[in-house]
Amino acid sequence: MRKQQILNKEIESFDFQSGGEASSNLKNILRKLGVSAQIVRKTAIVTYELEMNVVIHSLGGEITALISEDELEIRVDDDGPGIADLDKAFTAGYSTASDEIREMGFGAGMGLVNVKRYADQIDVKSSLGEGTHVKVIIKLSS
Ligand SMILES: Nc1ncnc2c1ncn2[C@@H]1O[C@H](COP(=O)(O)OP(=O)(O)OP(=O)(O)O)[C@@H](O)[C@H]1O
Ligand SMILES: [Mg+2]
């Protein structure tokens, strides 16, 4: 099944100015493609959380979105430092965010929990020093 790339964007570490742009861009692209509001909303939540995790927790990375007739594929890849314990990272309320970040309103430890909740499929590869690679599938027909 052929997939078409509809977004590829760099995400800079600690860039709170542009942080959120990729998910917002993708939202507009999906709307233009006629994707249903419900799917657009789900996708926006997933991409925003993953994008902000790259801004907050990583050295920087990129997001890529592909679409086919029946699904969306979102890939978020960063250059490290990676996640030591994935089970912990997916636990509600777990966060390593600093006080400074918490003051900005992040760090509830709910991002990945929500990504998992809204994704139809999720695959995370990460280890310390290796960077984090997330692949999410969102079905278009649900
Ligand atoms: N791309 C990443 N690189 C390194 N560590 C990450 C990355 N994404 C998540 N983590 C780790 O997993 C933890 C949980 O992530 P999650 O998104 O659930 O919560 P949070 O970002 O800390 O807070 P919230 O998303 O609620 O603002 C983070 O605190 C961080 O330790
Ligand atoms: Mg987060």
Residue 142, pLDDT score: 59
What does the pLDDT average to over 123-130? 95
Distance CA 78, CA 55 (A): 10
Q: What is the pLDDT of residues 55-82, one digit of tens each?
A: 999 999 999 999 999 999 999 999 999 9
Residue 108, pLDDT score: 98
The neighbouring-strand residues paired with 35 are: none
CATH of the domain at 22: 3.30.565.10
- Which helix (H) or strand (E) segment holds residue 4: the answer is strand 4-12
Is the pLDDT at 105 greater than 90, yes or no? Answer: yes
For residue 89, the CA-to-ligand 1 centroid distance in Å is 6
89 lines ligand 1 (CB under 6 A): yes
Task: Identify the residue whose C-alpha is closest to ligand 1 atom 28.
Answer: 95
Considering its fold, how many domains does the chain have in total?
1
**Rg (the chain; Cα; Å):** 14
User: Domain limits at 68?
Assistant: 4-139
Joined tokens for residue 140: 């278009």
Could you tell me the strand order of the sheet in which 121-127 lies? 4-12, 60-67, 71-78, 131-139, 121-127
What does the pLDDT average to over 106-117? 98
* Ligand 1 site-directed mutation target among 52, 53, 135, most atoms within 8 Å of CB: 53
Q: Phi and psi of 24, rounded to 5°? A: -70, -40
